[in-house]
Structure formats: structure tokens, C-alpha cells
């Protein structure tokens, strides 16, 4: 671990810092030459899809695109370390639970299926057949299949996801909570009724042609580093790049391309954003509404900025929105956005005068109570100038996990459309359950309340990624059985049900051999490109099963006696699974043929053709009032009366050295944090106003309706170091997952259920010496840090 320090970062994103960091991650994982070969195969036509982010690649055929965080993701999977049965023999689960998330994953790849033995509080090896029999026994003993919960993380391939949803529906439930519920769910919920698709409409070619790129609440320098290449190129040819973010993010300011010899030799770099608007957390709605109001005002004065032909031919609802915009108050917009009227007007002018524009957004938009309304505002603004379905223009929600979009396409969805169920019924000869299932937040409540009894996870780290950590843990511990299909040891394996299984699987980088020979799987990126991914490394252990094979064998053990699906035959050759996918989804016509072409193919996107698959067959404008009843508004209204209590709004985000709950290291280079993660970024005037100083340790407590008004607040996370930062007053930022105990389970995005983990109302108090452990959370690794 590097030395603890806070040091302002003045270099560009990328550059030599990135190269140094890559070397360190390879050394950490004991990867030598083999690792280097592995890296060169990432995102090549005959290699594997990078398990990092969902940003697309140029034809999957370019020379290796350098990506620091892609390297870390690959290195974490291709590590030479092993977490075998010896590790579990050495430690009780109680001991493992005291270790940090970093330590758990750092033990390396899991090698054997393991079962929890309560008598000795240890995981011990189990044969695969016995593991499947155990799961089947539990599932078949449930009086109602809806008492079982099947989670999915977005790394599962299309083939694995398709078989999984089929198995679970044949078993009898739509309980499919997934990581998407915590991620881009509001994007789909917002866009589908508006333009008929819940995905982005742009391609990389649009990035080459656009006049302006607007980036809302996304940190590409860390989370989608390959996107910086597109932004840099766009900047160099004169496109405007406009960022909206409460934090000054380095990767949005300057970038040095590690592949550009001149930049590297001269320590040069390219600016990224031409304009940077440091709005208040959750202020995007007000900014975008203000931008639209400005355009309406100019329009009413005679500057023809709106695309009336497009509006007339393709949309409905414009007049109602126009009236709403005219009536909106600038005072409210300024107050709620944290920007001055002049700044909002300036942003609107850039947009109004750009021939074409792309809007990108990430978690800074989707993880609020009012996320769906904000996304509809973004789409409204695009529609006003006909910026959907033409060159260089359109929405670009940037997805997280490398196949999270594909998993949804394959039917991992707790609210399946009736048409999908009808087709499944026809193709596979069974009657699928019709009632909607539980999403992530509902699944947690169901387990906590004793209504969810078996929890099965295809990947991910449910115990750490979800909100209200200790409520989630109560739920998992109440289960009769918890099962995790996984590559590495994580928090979810040590917070388990009465019985528990850890089932190790192959990763994307590994060779997958079935009866029909070596297999590839397919994935869909953020721009709807579907392509094949083939591993090149020998498996981490001979015991590992591929995810499709594992699901098939589990299906045979559980429903083999009544299912008509030829499970084992399907996984002998994944081309057979793809034929079934084609039989269910029209967009996958000639799937095997089309995916054999290097680079794969693009799925049809009706909105990009200006075909609107909505109820009205038009694209729709939606008017919404400025949200003034968010959790922070309510907390301030309640506590504001109480003398000097200051309610802050806290956003939770990723450091540069993590992949969601996987902690690669303890540095956040671009934000100047080294050797530590328990920090909270705060404006220096707020530190002074609190009577504290930079570097003081504080405890963070959530202000929430179910917690009472004062000392008895139940959600807290202790011992975080104050770091003075360029962030608006009243706003705070800290890393997830350490801050997940602060996110109330019922604080979610309206109409999407996504935890509002970017806007948590909190108060800060000086950290006092640790009191003797009382509550569960105080004894946990999370509280110690
Ligand atoms: N290396 C790496 N890559 C990843 C991941 C990872 O953890 N590590 N995770 C993957 C996943 S699953 C996802 S979903 C994506 C996540 O990628 P991002 O969407 O970039 O997610 P976050 O890191 O949470 O950062 C959100 C950004 O939004 C800003 N923000 C917060 N609140 C607001 C707000 O109210 N308004 C605005 N305008 N901005 C706000 C924050 O300051 C931060 O810059 O990345 C994927 N790629
Ligand atoms: N407070 C707060 N909470 C958040 C967020 C936030 O911004 N703030 N972000 C949310 C978002 S956007 C997301 S997407 C979720 C992420 O939630 P998850 O997807 O559940 O979490 P990950 O950390 O990505 O999962 C990591 C684990 O996946 C397993 N794994 C890795 N590769 C494979 C594989 O190939 N197969 C299998 N079976 N397992 C594998 C490893 O065991 C690893 O420990 O977290 C959400 N939670
Ligand atoms: Mo995500």
C-alpha cells in the first residue's frame, strides 16, 4: 500500500502516471509475460472482450487500445494468486468477515466449489453434483418459487444470461434483481416512453461528426478511459465539450494519450472540456430545464433555434412543455442548480448554436430520487433541436458493466414484456410466470422480512454493492441458502445464509472447452454492438465451470424432470444457444453468421432511424416541475430549524483504483488521494464553518425519515478524513462501498427503484475515540476501514 498522503494532482489524466500504475498492477498480481500477452488480446477480433467497462471499440480491430483501468480489470482476473481450499481451512468465516474488501479479493482466484459448514464456521470443499443437488433441494422445497431470488451482475455473457433467465422462468419466478437496478435503470424507464428505446442511439462515428458533446455526471477518466480518446479527437477537430459535474474531475479537464509519442515525450496533454459547469449535486434537472427555457426565450424573440419540422413530424407534447418552460422561475432554477442564470444561458447557447450534439450521462444522473425526470429533460432538450436519429447527434447513456446492456436484452428483467414471455412459451414449451418479480431494493426488503428464502447470484457482490448495508446483511443472513457464482472471494460470501455455497466459474479471459470444442461467448456494448469474446488463458483451476455449463447443470438438477429444454445439449456448443436466442429475439436474425464477422454487428435501434416504438408512434416531450422535495430538501426543512445543524448532500462515487466493490488499490491519483479510502471531500469554507480543520476525522450520519431527528439516527459510517476540495458548498463526496451503510433502502429513484446513492442527506460530527463495539456495524470491517 502506498504512503498515506493527500497531494493535489497537477498532471493530465492518462500519461506517465497511467503507465506507472499499470506496471504496478501487473506486479501486484504476480503477472509476468503471460499477462502481457493477455493484455494484447483484449478487445481484439480473436481475443476476449475487456471485462472492464461497456465503452465500445473501433471495429474491435484496432491495435491494442491502451486503457489503464482495462489493464487493472484484466490483471485482477488473470492474477497468478489462488484462493484454494487451504485458505478456507485456515480461517473461520468469522475471521474472514473481519478482513477488508481489498484483502478478500486479493487472495486470488477461487479454485473449488465450497460449502459452508456451520459446525466449524468454515467453508469446506464439495463436489459439483452435491452442490447442484443442495440448491435443487432448497429450490424444490419452497412452497412458492417467488421465495427464491436470482441476482445477476452485468458481466455475464449473453449465452449465460439467456440460459439463466430461461431456467429461472421455467422454475417459476421473475425475481431478477440485477446490477442494472442500481445503475442505468432510470435511463430505460425515462427513455422508453419517450422515444421507444431504453438505450443510447449514437455510434462511435457520431462522435467523429458531432459539433458538441455534453457530459452529465460521468467520470470517463476513471470509469471509461477509452472514451477519453474520442473526446480528445473531438476536441482537436474543434468540437465543444461541455461538462457538468460538482467535482473538478481531472479526466474531464486534460488528457495525455499514452499512445501519442509526442505528448508522452513532451509531457504535453490535450484539454478535454471546453466548458466546465460545477453545478450542485442533483442540480442537473434545473440546469437542463433552464437551458430549455433559454432556448424558448430566444425562440420567442425570433432566433430560430428549434427544429420545428422535426417537432411537427415526429413528436407530441411540445406545446405543453413550451408553456411550462415559459412559466418557470429563473430564481428557482438558479437556486436548485447552484449555477447563475448567465451560466445556464451560456450552456444553452453552446447547445443552441451547435449543428449537432451528443449527450452522455452516467451515475451522477441516474442515482437520485428525480433521475427519471432528469433523463426525460435531457431527451426533451435533444428533441427540441431534432438531435436524435441523425448524424453526430443523440443520447449516449454510458453503461457500466461490460455486458449489462446485453443481459437486459437477453431478458434479465424483473418486469418482462408480455411478448417475451409469449415467445419463450412457444419456443420452449412451458408456461412462464406472468407477475412481475422483485428488483434489487425489493429483494432486500423481502429477504429482511423473511419472504425471500433462497438467494442465488450469478456474479457480483450483492452484500457490498447494495444500499443500507446492514439491512441487506440482515436479509442475507435470514436466508435458508445463499449461493454465489463467482471468480473471487468477496463480502457476499462471508455474509451468508444458514447454508451457503461458493461456486467458482471461468472468467472471460479463460479458454472455455465444452464437448463441441473451444467456445466463445457474445456481449453487447453501450452502443448496441454485439460481438464474440474468446478467452486465451488456461483456466485458473481444473474445477471451474463456465457460467453457461453451470446454469445448465443446475437446471437439470432442479427442473430436469419436467423441463423440455435440452440443457446439456445446448452447452456442448454455444452456437446452439445462439440459435435459441435467434428463435426468441427477431433482432438476432442470423446471429451465428453475423457474429462471426470480425467486429460483430449492431442491433437495430429504432429511435436512431426515427421510428418511434411508443404508444403514440411519436417521440414525446414530457413536462415536469423542478423537484423541490428531494431527501436533502426534506432533511433541511426538518433540521434547519435546529440551530446550527448543517445538512450536507453526499454523493458516493468510484476512486481510480477500484472496479465497483473490487478494490484494486488505495490511491485515487487524479483526486490526489494516496494510500487511503476513508476520506470525505468538502469545500474548505464548509470545514471552517463547522469549526473543524482539513484532515480532521469525522463520523457521517444520514438524516432520514425513519430515523428520528437527533441522536438516535440509525445510519452511520465512522471515521472519515476531511479533505478540502473543489466542490460546491453544502456538497460532499466519498467512496462507495464504504458509504453504502448510509443509503436508506427506501431512498430510491421514482419510477425506477434505483438507490439514490448520489444524494444522501447527512450531517458530520467530529470523530470521537472508538466506543466499545455495540452494534453489528461497529464490529465489521466497514467500520474499521
Ligand atoms: N475503472 C472502473 N471502471 C468502471 C467502474 C469502476 O468502478 N471502475 N464501474 C463501471 C460501472 S458498473 C459503471 S455504472 C460506470 C460508472 O461510471 P460513472 O458514471 O462515471 O460513475 P461514478 O464514478 O459513480 O461517477 C459519477 C460522476 O458523477 C459525478 N456526480 C455525482 N453526482 C452528480 C450530480 O448530481 N450531477 C452531476 N452532473 N454529476 C454528479 C461525480 O462527481 C462523478 O464524476 O463505470 C464502469 N466502469
Ligand atoms: N453507494 C453506491 N452504491 C453503488 C453504486 C454507487 O455509485 N454508489 N453503483 C452501483 C452500480 S452502478 C453497480 S453496477 C453495482 C455493482 O454491483 P455488482 O455488479 O454486484 O458488483 P461488482 O463489484 O461489480 O462485482 C464484483 C464481483 O464480481 C465477481 N466477478 C468478477 N468477474 C466475474 C465473472 O466473470 N463471473 C462471475 N460469476 N463473477 C465475476 C467477483 O467475485 C467480484 O468480487 O453497484 C451499485 N452500488
Ligand atoms: Mo453500474
* Helix, strand, coil tally for the chain in percent (to 5): 40, 20, 40
Nearest-CA residue for atom 42 of ligand 2: 488
Q: Which atom of ligand 2 is nearest to the CA of 466?
A: 47
Domain 631-784, CATH number (from 3.40.800.20, 2.40.70.10, 2.40.40.20, 3.40.440.10): 2.40.40.20
Give me the residue label for grid cell 442475507. 476
Confidence of residue 642 (pLDDT cuts 50, 70, 90): low
User: Rounded to an integer, what is the distance from CA 18 to the centroid of its chain?
Assistant: 23
Mutate to test the pocket of ligand 2, among 661, 737, 752 (most ligand atoms within 8 A of CB): 661
How many C-beta neighbours within 10 Å does residue 689 have? 12
Mean pLDDT over residues 299-310, rounded?
A: 96
Q: What separation in Å is there between the alpha carbon of 227 and the centre of ligand 2?
A: 21
- Residue 627 CA to residue 377 CA, distance in Å, equals 12
Which ligand is the nearest neighbour of the Cα of 109?
2
Q: Check: CB of residue 491 under 8 Å from CB of residue 463.
A: yes
- At 260 the pLDDT is 72
Q: Which atom of ligand 2 is nearest to the CA of 757?
A: 1
Nearest-CA residue for atom 2 of ligand 1: 223
Q: What separation in Å is there between the alpha carbon of 178 and the centre of ligand 3?
A: 10
Q: What separation in Å is there between the alpha carbon of 80 and the centre of ligand 3?
A: 27
- At 770 the pLDDT is 60
- At 43 the pLDDT is 65
Which ligand is the nearest neighbour of the Cα of 107?
2
**pLDDT tens digits, one per residue of 90-112:** 999 999 999 999 999 999 999 99
Mutate to test the pocket of ligand 2, among 158, 179, 466 (most ligand atoms within 8 A of CB): 179
Q: What separation in Å is there between the alpha carbon of 401 and the centre of ligand 2?
A: 8
Ligand 2 site residues, Cβ closer than 6 angstroms: 105, 153-155, 179, 182-183, 363, 367, 400-401, 458-462, 465, 485-488, 490, 505, 507-508, 547, 652, 660-662, 736, 739-740, 743, 757
- CA-nearest of 13, 69, 39, 21 to 660 is 69
Taking 80 as the threshold, does the pLDDT of residue 752 lie above it?
A: yes
Q: What separation in Å is there between the alpha carbon of 151 and the centre of ligand 3?
A: 14
Q: Which atom of ligand 2 is nearest to the CA of 740?
A: 1
Q: Check: CB of residue 760 under 8 Å from CB of residue 631.
A: yes
Confidence of residue 73 (pLDDT cuts 50, 70, 90): confident
Give me the residue label for grid cell 419510477. 751
- At 64 the pLDDT is 41
Strand partners, 720: 698
- Residue 70 CA to residue 55 CA, distance in Å, equals 11
Q: Do domains 185-398 and 631-784 have the same CATH topology?
A: no
In the chain, the N- to C-terminal Cα span, in Å, equals: 14
Q: What separation in Å is there between the alpha carbon of 362 and the centre of ligand 3?
A: 9
Q: What separation in Å is there between the alpha carbon of 463 and the centre of ligand 2?
A: 10
What DSSP letter does each residue of 23-79 carry, written as one string?
HHHHHHTT--HHHHHHHHTTT-TTSPPPSSB----STTTSSPPP-HHHHHHHHHHS-
Which ligand is the nearest neighbour of the Cα of 218?
1
Q: Which fold has domain 185-398?
A: Dimethylsulfoxide Reductase; domain 2 (3.40.228)
Least confident range from 537-551, 586-600, 708-722: namely 708-722
Which ligand is the nearest neighbour of the Cα of 245?
1
Which ligand is the nearest neighbour of the Cα of 658?
1
Q: Which atom of ligand 1 is nearest to the CA of 653?
A: 24
Q: What separation in Å is there between the alpha carbon of 732 and the centre of ligand 1?
A: 15
Least confident range from 5-19, 468-482, 604-618, 632-646: namely 5-19
Taking 80 as the threshold, does the pLDDT of residue 780 lie above it?
A: no
Beta pairing class for 254-256 and 270-271: antiparallel
Q: Which atom of ligand 2 is nearest to the CA of 153?
A: 19
Which ligand is the nearest neighbour of the Cα of 215?
1
What pTM was estimated for this model as a whole? 0.95
Q: What separation in Å is there between the alpha carbon of 659 and the centre of ligand 3?
A: 10
Q: What separation in Å is there between the alpha carbon of 464 and the centre of ligand 2?
A: 8
Taking 60 as the threshold, does the pLDDT of residue 709 lie above it?
A: no
Q: Which atom of ligand 1 is nearest to the CA of 660?
A: 7
**Cβ contacts of 542 within 8 Å, gap of 6 or more:** none
- At 638 the pLDDT is 85
- Torsions phi, psi for 153 (to 5 deg): -100, 150
- At 109 the pLDDT is 97
Ligand 1 site residues, Cβ closer than 6 angstroms: 52-53, 69, 183, 216-219, 222-224, 244-247, 249, 279, 281-282, 284, 362-364, 400-401, 651, 653-654, 658-660, 758
- CA-nearest of 306, 398, 394, 307 to 358 is 394
Q: What separation in Å is there between the alpha carbon of 56 and the centre of ligand 2?
A: 20
- Residue 768 CA to residue 451 CA, distance in Å, equals 39
Which ligand is the nearest neighbour of the Cα of 54?
1
Integer CA distances (angstroms), 88 to 101, 114, 335, 458, 520, in order: 16, 9, 55, 22, 32
Domain ranges in the chain? 5-77, 82-178+416-516+537-545+553-565, 185-398, 631-784
Q: What separation in Å is there between the alpha carbon of 178 and the centre of ligand 2?
A: 10
**Cβ contacts of 294 within 8 Å, gap of 6 or more:** 344, 345, 348, 349, 352
Q: Which DSSP symbol is given to 84?
A: -
Output the average pLDDT for the chain. Answer: 91
Mutate to test the pocket of ligand 1, among 156, 217, 726 (most ligand atoms within 8 A of CB): 217
**pLDDT tens digits, one per residue of 355-409:** 999 999 999 999 999 999 999 999 999 999 999 999 999 999 999 998 999 999 9
Domain 82-178+416-516+537-545+553-565, CATH number (from 3.30.70.100, 3.40.470.10, 3.30.70.20, 3.40.50.740): 3.40.50.740
Element (H, E) at 90: helix 85-90
**pLDDT tens digits, one per residue of 310-358:** 999 999 999 999 999 999 999 999 999 999 999 999 999 999 999 999 9
Nearest-CA residue for atom 16 of ligand 1: 400
Amino acid at each position: 500500500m502506498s504512503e498515506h498522503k493527500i497531494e493535489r494532482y497537477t498532471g493530465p489524466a492518462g500519461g506517465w502516471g497511467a503507465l506507472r500504475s499499470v506496471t504496478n498492477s501487473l506486479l501486484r498480481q504476480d503477472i509476468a509475460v503471460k499477462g502481457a500477452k493477455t493484455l494484447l488480446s483484449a478487445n481484439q477480433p480473436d481475443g476476449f472482450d475487456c471485462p472492464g467497462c461497456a465503452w465500445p471499440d473501433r471495429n474491435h480491430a484496432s491495435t491494442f487500445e491502451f486503457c489503464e483501468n482495462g489493464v487493472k480489470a484484466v490483471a485482477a482476473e488473470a492474477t497468478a494468486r489462488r484462493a484454494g481450499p487451504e485458505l478456507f481451512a485456515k480461517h473461520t468465516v468469522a475471521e474472514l468477515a473481519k478482513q477488508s474488501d481489498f484483502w478478500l479479493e486479493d487472495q486470488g482466484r477461487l479454485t473449488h466449489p465450497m460449502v459452508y459448514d456451520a459446525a466449524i464456521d468454515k467453508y469446506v470443499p464439495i463436489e459439483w453434483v452435491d452442490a447442484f443437488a443442495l440448491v435443487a433441494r432448497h429450490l424444490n422445497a419452497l412452497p412458492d418459487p417467488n421465495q427464491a431470488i436470482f441476482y445477476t451482475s452485468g458481466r455475464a455473457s449473453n449465452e449465460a444470461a439467456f440460459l439463466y433467465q430461461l431456467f429461472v422462468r421455467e422454475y417459476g419466478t421473475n425475481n431478477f434483481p440485477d446490477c442494472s437496478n442500481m445503475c442505468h435503470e432510470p435511463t430505460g424507464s425515462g427513455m422508453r416512453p419517450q422515444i421507444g428505446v431504453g438505450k443510447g442511439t449514437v455510434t462511435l462515428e457520431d462522435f467523429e461528426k458531432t459539433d458538441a458533446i455534453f457530459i452529465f455526471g460521468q467520470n470517463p477518466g476513471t470509469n471509461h478511459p477509452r472514451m477519453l480518446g474520442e473526446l480528445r479527437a473531438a476536441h482537436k477537430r474543434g468540437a465543444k465539450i461541455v461538462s457538468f459535474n460538482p467535482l473538478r474531475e481531472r479526466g474531464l479537464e486534460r488528457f495525455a494519450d499514452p499512445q501519442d509519442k509526442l505528448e508522452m515525450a513532451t509531457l504535453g496533454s490535450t484539454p478535454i472540456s471546453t466548458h466546465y459547469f460545477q453545478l450542485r449535486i442533483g442540480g442537473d434537472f434545473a440546469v437542463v430545464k433552464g437551458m430549455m427555457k433559454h432556448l424558448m426565450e430566444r425562440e420567442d424573440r425570433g432566433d430560430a433555434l428549434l427544429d420545428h419540422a422535426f417537432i411537427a413530424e415526429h413528436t407530441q407534447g411540445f406545446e405543453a412543455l413550451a408553456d411550462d418552460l415559459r412559466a418557470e422561475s429563473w430564481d428557482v432554477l438558479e437556486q436548485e442548480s447552484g449555477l447563475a442564470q448567465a451560466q445556464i444561458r451560456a450552456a444553452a447557447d453552446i447547445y443552441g448554436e451547435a449543428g449537432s450534439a451528443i449527450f452522455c450521462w452516467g451515475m451522477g444522473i441516474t442515482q437520485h430520487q428525480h433521475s427519471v425526470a432528469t433523463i426525460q429533460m435531457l431527451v426533451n432538450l435533444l428533441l427540441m433541436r431534432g438531435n436524435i436519429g441523425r448524424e453526430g447527434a443523440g443520447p449516449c447513456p454510458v453503461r457500466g458493466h461490460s455486458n449489462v446492456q446485453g443481459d437486459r436484452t437477453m431478458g434479465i428483467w424483473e418486469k418482462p414484456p408480455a411478448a417475451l414471455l409469449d415467445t419463450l412459451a412457444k419456443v420452449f414449451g412451458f408456461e412462464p410466470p406472468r407477475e412481475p418479480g422483485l428488483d434489487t431494493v425489493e429483494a432486500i426488503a423481502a429477504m429482511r422480512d423473511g419472504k425471500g428464502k433462497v438467494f442465488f447470484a450469478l456474479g457480483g457482490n450483492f452484500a457490498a454493492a447494495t444500499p443500507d448495508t446492514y439491512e441487506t446483511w440482515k436479509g442475507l443472513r435470514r436466508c435458508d441458502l445463499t449461493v454465489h457464482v463467482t471468480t473471487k472471494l468477496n463480502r457476499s460470501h462471508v455474509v451468508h445464509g444458514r447454508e451457503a455455497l461458493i461456486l467458482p466459474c471461468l472468467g472471460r479471459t479463460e479458454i472455455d472447452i465444452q464437448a463441441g470444442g473451444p467456445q466463445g461467448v457474445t456481449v453487447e456494448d453501450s452502443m448496441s454492438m454485439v460481438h464474440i469474446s474468446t478467452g486465451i488463458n488456461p483456466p485458473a483451476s481444473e474445477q471451474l465451470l463456465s457460467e453457461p455449463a453451470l446454469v445448465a447443470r443446475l437446471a437439470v438438477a432442479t427442473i430436469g424432470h419436467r423441463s423440455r429444454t435440452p440443457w446439456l445439449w445446448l452447452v456442448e456448443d454455444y452456437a446452439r444457444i445462439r440459435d435459441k436466442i435467434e428463435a426468441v429475439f427477431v433482432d438476432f436474425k442470423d446471429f451465428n453468421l453475423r457474429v462471426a464477422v470480425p467486429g460483430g454487428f449492431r442491433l437495430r435501434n429504432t429511435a436512431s432511424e426515427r421510428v418511434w416504438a411508443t404508444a403514440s408512434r411519436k417521440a414525446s416531450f414530457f413536462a415536469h416541475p423542478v423537484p423541490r422535495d428531494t431527501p436533502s430538501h426534506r432533511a433541511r426543512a426538518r433540521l434547519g430549524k435546529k440551530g446550527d445543524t448543517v445538512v450536507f448532500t453526499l454523493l458516493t462515487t468510484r476512486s481510480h483504483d477500484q472496479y465497483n466493490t473490487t478494490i484494486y488499490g488505495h490511491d485515487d491519483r487524479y483526486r490526489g488521494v494516496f494510500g487511503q479510502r476513508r476520506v470525505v471531500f468538502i469545500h474548505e469554507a464548509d470545514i471552517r464553518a463547522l469549526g473543524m480543520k482539513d484532515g480532521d476525522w469525522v463520523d457521517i450520519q444520514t438524516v432520514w425519515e425513519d430515523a428520528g431527528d437527533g441522536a438516535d439516527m440509525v445510519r452511520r459510517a465512522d471515521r472519515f478524513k476531511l479533505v478540502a476540495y473543489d466542490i460546491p458548498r453544502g456538497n460532499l463526496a466519498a467512496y462507495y462501498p464504504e458509504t453504502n451503510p448510509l443509503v436508506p433502502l427506501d431512498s430510491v429513484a421514482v419510477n425506477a427503484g434505483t438507490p439514490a446513492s448520489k444524494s444522501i442527506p447527512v450531517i458530520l460530527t467530529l470523530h470521537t475515540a472508538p466506543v466499545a463495539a455495540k452494534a453489528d456495524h461497529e464490529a465489521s470491517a466497514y467500520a474499521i476501514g
